[in-house]
Structure 1
């Protein structure tokens, strides 16, 4: 007899539960913004270890959790890997243009600071 275990499922807010102030809070941290920028630049979901942050593993876990709990990313397990993807469709439906403008502003800021 084999025992079937259910896949691990992480809690995510539904689209109707995502609030602008929570999304902005999640994006306000430089490390979380870095995660979002890397996810936006990729063509596929990334594992947590694909995104290197200059912080401890526990702090990295915290940043991913904040992004997930505030509706910015979706995390799913594929085997033992936790995959991360932007909730671009949900964010665009709720706040048209917001994510693209934030990503553009982050890129412009990076260029400006590199010129200093």
Structure 2
């Protein structure tokens, strides 16, 4: 059952978003989420960050409603966690959960995305 809790250290009273528990994360859902170029761009940006990023920190060439959809797919698949800090929705990669469930998957996907980016020259 998805939980409505925010990550540890969240500000009490902050709005909670539903996230799947670690045991509920499924490989097919993760792969589906990562298959979209915009969602993969979000994941690569989060992986390169030293911490959480707000949605506004990651520019995407799509409408705001489409961005919202992409973040929701990533959250509901268990790839990212989101929490509100004030009016900002903060995003973080669920690296530890994904590594525990699917060892090497995210690192492999990130390496492949980087190689593709270099090969295609940012097309």
Q: Which is worse superposed, 6-15 or 58-67? A: 6-15
Aligned residue among 107, 116, 119 for 1:100:
107
Aligned residue among 24, 49, 52 for 2:31:
24
Task: For 2:24 and 2:107, locate their aligned partners in 1 and report how far apart those are by CA, in whole Å.
Answer: 21
TM-score (norm 1): 0.93
Is the helix fraction higher in 1 or 2?
1
Task: Say how many residue pairs are matched.
Answer: 112
RMSD of aligned alpha carbons:
1.5
Aligned residue among 80, 83, 89 for 2:87:
80
Q: Which has the larger radius of gyration?
A: 1
TM-score (norm 2): 0.88
Matched, 1:43 2:71: no
Q: CA deviation at 1:38?
A: 0.3
Q: CA deviation at 1:7?
A: 2.3
Q: CA deviation at 1:114?
A: 1.5
Task: For 1:48 and 1:15, locate their aligned partners in 2 and report how far apart those are by CA, in whole Å.
Answer: 23
Q: Deviations over 1:69-90 (max 9, x none)?
A: 0000000111111100000000
Which consecutive unaligned segments of at least 5 residues does structure 1 have? none
Q: 1:115 to 1:7 in 2, by over 3 A?
A: closer
Which consecutive unaligned segments of at least 5 residues does structure 2 have? 1-11
